[in-house]
């Protein structure tokens, strides 16, 4: 979670020059918008929605592109929140305290990182320093991979895209969690897309370890 003290947000009213400065100096794709203080959040804006405004000053109307985040209590379980965010396709949540004040914000990426936190201690086969242990090509349709392998690495190996534009995750395990919204058990199978399927072959109640990735359409994809 990003605590209240570290939240980067846009306070209304805001000038166009100030807005441009905020966008230039932020590394986030979604930015909260509020008035008075962070307990009165009006919504959030996506950076791509701001681009037309920056190009055409006459259309400067921030309220017209506001989106509503999910509001969640501090007590909500992480996987429950992830499930809600995925179902509603809203990838930022405002966490509030018992008095309704803003405690912080959480993104789907934050949740996935939290779920995978500590996996290096539980899985001795995985090491950033030894990439030969990260995945194994079994045959022309199958890869056995650590859940921590980067999606872009596997995409290069299989020659097809797995990640969609709205997917805010970096690893294949994170992509599985993004698709289903909860922690699956061993043997669970999920469609990553129309041509790729993932099966959980090793996991604990809170950590994904190994995944079998199967490619169905060899006309569009060939595993190297």
pLDDT (tens, 9 = 90+) of the chain, 224 residues, equals 889 999 989 999 988 888 888 877 777 889 999 999 999 999 999 988 887 777 776 667 788 889 999 999 887 888 889 889 988 989 999 999 867 889 999 998 888 877 765 554 444 443 343 344 489 999 889 999 999 899 999 999 999 999 987 787 888 988 998 888 777 889 999 999 999 999 999 988 767 889 999 998 655 445 65
The confidence score (pLDDT) of residue 218 equals 54
| Fold topology of 119-215 | 3.30.465
Tell me the three state secondary structure of residue 172. helix
- Measured torsion, CA atoms of residues 19, 112, 180, 80, in degrees rounded to the nearest 10: -90
Q: Which CATH architecture has domain 2-115?
A: Roll (3.10)
CB contact set of 205 (below 8 Å; sequence gap of 6+): 183
The confidence score (pLDDT) of residue 63 equals 84
The confidence score (pLDDT) of residue 97 equals 83
The confidence score (pLDDT) of residue 224 equals 59
Report the distance separating Cα 79 and Cα 204, nearest Å: 14
Domain boundaries, the chain: 2-115, 119-215
Closest CA to 9 of 56, 55, 42: 42
CB contact set of 212 (below 8 Å; sequence gap of 6+): 142, 143, 144, 145, 198, 199, 201
Report the distance separating Cα 136 and Cα 20, nearest Å: 46
pTM: 0.61
């Amino acid at each position: 979670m990003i605590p209240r003290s570290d939240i980067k947000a846009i306070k209304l009213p805001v000038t166009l020059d100030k807005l441009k400065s905020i966008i230039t100096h932020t590394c986030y794709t979604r930015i909260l918008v509020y008035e008075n203080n962070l307990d009165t959040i009006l919504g959030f804006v996506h950076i791509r929605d701001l681009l037309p405004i920056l190009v055409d000053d006459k259309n400067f109307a921030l309220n017209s592109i506001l989106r509503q985040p999910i509001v969640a209590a501090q007590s909500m379980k992480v996987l429950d929140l992830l499930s809600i965010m995925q179902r509603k396709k809203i990838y930022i949540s405002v966490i509030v305290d018992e008095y309704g004040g803003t405690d912080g914000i959480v993104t789907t990426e934050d949740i996935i990182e939290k779920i995978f936190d500590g996996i290096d201690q539980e899985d001795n086969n995985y090491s950033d320093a030894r990439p030969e242990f990260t995945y194994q090509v079994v045959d022309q349709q199958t890869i056995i991979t650590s859940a921590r392998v980067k999606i872009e690495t596997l995409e290069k190996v299989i020659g097809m895209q797995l990640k969609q534009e709205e997917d805010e995750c970096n690893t294949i395990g994170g992509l599985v969690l993004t698709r289903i919204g909860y922690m699956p058990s061993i043997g669970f199978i999920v469609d990553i897309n129309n041509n790729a399927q993932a099966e959980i072959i090793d996991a604990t109640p809170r950590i994904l370890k190994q995944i079998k990735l199967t490619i169905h359409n060899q006309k569009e994809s060939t595993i190297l």
